[in-house]
Amino acid sequence: MFVFTLRRLLLAIPTLLVISLVIYLLVDFAPGSPMSEIPLTVPPEVRQKMIAALGADQPVLVRYLLWLRQFFWVEPAYLIDGWFGTHLAGDEQRILSWQSRSPVFTIIGQRIPQTLTVVGTAYLVGALIAIPIGIYSAYRQYSWFDQLGTLFAMIGFSVPTFFTGTLFIIIFAVELGWFPTKYDTMLNVTDWSSFLTQLRQMTLPVMTLGLANAAAISRYMRSSMLDNLGQDYVRTARAKGEPERTVVLKHVLRNSLIPVVTVIALGIPSIFGGAIITENLFGVNGIGAALILAIHASDLPMVQTLTFIFAALIVLFNLIADILYGLLDPRIRYD
């Protein structure tokens, strides 16, 4: 297992380098330019100077190599300086966003907590709702509960979040006035009342995202349970006289969870990726909102850095899912 992990980690290095180059070229060749953000009232020669000050007029290869150096050397050096008070980075230029002129990693640092709180909670809530629904739906296949669960999953799958989100806003915020529509990112949770405020402002985005997440996971859980319920070992357990509760929740559930756990693990990078539409809709300043804003503004350093981090996370969680699979299922060995 250790050799396997090591081999996979080493293989990840060239993979990620190739990914970073491909992303860089794709983003660079995509139509659009940071110039499109500058109003028409600015004369062309001033525009040229602004673009030159960003460094956006350099050849693409020069900019890519500079980015590599900044990402793998300057930024980690800054991080270490921040922790230990050293001066490794010196006066080196950090990766700066073209749009805001702030260091990209500062922006990511500001935004990751919001994304993890909202999107992470939604993922957790989704999983917690989905697993019991999946179990019971499979156990009572074609019952009214199963039909209802299927309907719920169909809605979660097929109705896009920009629709459910807006619907929730109109019902719960505009008509009933229970929840706010805009997320206050400056809110500090210090006591019970601010905690309640935080809960209230999280409710709508979490509901919107949780519905979509729960729909997907409950389907996986249900089909995995159905696969196992028909197995011989289930009949054996029942023949031994095990109570039904033990049969379902101990024998069947454990075995059914294996594929579901991998699905959940593979979904974790998408938490870091944020939820572009939902974050925008509710004004949660997460990573997803930052990415879409940067894409609109053709803010290449920001788009490049974010997409590359997502790529790295996906590679990492793929590996974690593989290792988890091996740990959960003793029949699977990689050596």
Partner 1 sequence: MKFKTALLGAVAMAALGNVAWADRGTDGDLKITFPQAVSIMNPYLSNGTKDVYGSSLVLEPLAGIDDQGNLIPKLAVEIPTIENGGVSADMTSITWKLQPGLLWSDGTPVTADDAVFTAAYCMDPSGGCAQLSKYDGVKSVEALDASTIKVTFTGPKPYPYTAFVGALSPLLQKAQFAACQGAAAPTCTDANNMPIGTGPFKVTGFTVNDTVTFEANPNYRDPAKPAFATAMIKGGGDAESSARAVMQTGEFDYAWNTQIPPDSQKAMAEAGKGEFVVAFGTLVERLEMNMTDPSADLPEGERSTAKHPHPILSDVNVRKALSMAIDRAALVEVGYGAAGEPACNILPAPAAWSAGDTSCIAQDLEGAKKLLDEAGWVPGADGIREKDGRKLHILYQTTVNPVRQDFQALIKDWWTSIGVDVELKAVDPSVFFGGDAGSPDTFQKFYADVEMYANNSDAIDPEAYLAQYQCSHAPSPDNQWQGDNINRFCDPAYDSTYAELQKTTDVAKRQELAKKLDMMVTTDSKIVVPLVHRGTLSAHSNALGGVKINAWDSEMWNIADWYRVK
How far is C-alpha 184 from the geometric centre of its chain's CA atoms?
Answer: 21
CA dihedral 74, 79, 85, 88 (to 10 degrees): -20
Residues 295 and 125: their CA atoms lie apart, in Å, by 30
Sole window of 15-23, 146-154, 182-190, 240-248 interacting with partner 1 (rule: CB under 8 A): 182-190
Helix axes 60-69, 300-328, angle to 10 degrees: 50
User: Shortest approach of partner 1 to residue 294 CB, angstroms?
Assistant: 9
Give the number of other CB atoms < 10 A from CB of residue 101. 9
Judge whether 96 and 305 are in contact, CB under 8 Å.
Answer: no
User: Shortest approach of partner 1 to residue 54 CB, angstroms?
Assistant: 7
Helices (H) and strands (E) in the chain, counts: 15, 0
Residues 303 and 294: their CA atoms lie apart, in Å, by 6
With a CB cutoff of 8 Å and minimum separation 6, the contacts of 274 are 111, 115, 119, 286, 287, 288, 289, 290, 291
Judge whether 54 and 97 are in contact, CB under 8 Å.
Answer: no
Sole window of 59-67, 142-150, 173-181, 319-327 interacting with partner 1 (rule: CB under 8 A): 173-181
Residues 248 and 155: their CA atoms lie apart, in Å, by 28
User: Shortest approach of partner 1 to residue 304 CB, angstroms?
Assistant: 16
Site size for partner 1, by CB under 8 A?
56
103 lies in the binding site for partner 1 (CB under 8 A): yes
Question: 285, exposed or middle or buried, with CB in 10 Å at 0-12, 13-18, 19+?
Answer: buried
The three-state secondary structure class of 96 is strand
User: Shortest approach of partner 1 to residue 80 CB, angstroms?
Assistant: 19
Binding mask 39-58 for partner 1 (x = CB under 8 A): xxxxxxxxxxxxxxxx----
Residues numbered 13-32 forming contacts with partner 1, rule: CB under 8 A: 31-32
33 lies in the binding site for partner 1 (CB under 8 A): yes
User: Shortest approach of partner 1 to residue 125 CB, angstroms?
Assistant: 23
Sole window of 5-13, 100-108, 238-246, 317-325 interacting with partner 1 (rule: CB under 8 A): 100-108
Residues numbered 186-245 forming contacts with partner 1, rule: CB under 8 A: 186
User: Shortest approach of partner 1 to residue 275 CB, angstroms?
Assistant: 13
Give the number of other CB atoms < 10 A from CB of residue 62. 10
Binding mask 277-316 for partner 1 (x = CB under 8 A): ---xxxx-x---xx--x--xxx------------------
Nearer to partner 1, 217 or 277 (CB): 277
Residues numbered 106-135 forming contacts with partner 1, rule: CB under 8 A: 106-107, 110-111
Sole window of 67-75, 105-113, 241-249, 256-264 interacting with partner 1 (rule: CB under 8 A): 105-113
User: Shortest approach of partner 1 to residue 333 CB, angstroms?
Assistant: 48
Residues 82 and 79: their CA atoms lie apart, in Å, by 5
Query: Which residue ranges make up the site for partner 1 (CB under 8 A)?
Result: 31-33, 35-54, 93, 96-97, 99-103, 106-107, 110-111, 169, 173-174, 177, 180-182, 184-186, 280-283, 285, 289-290, 293, 296-298
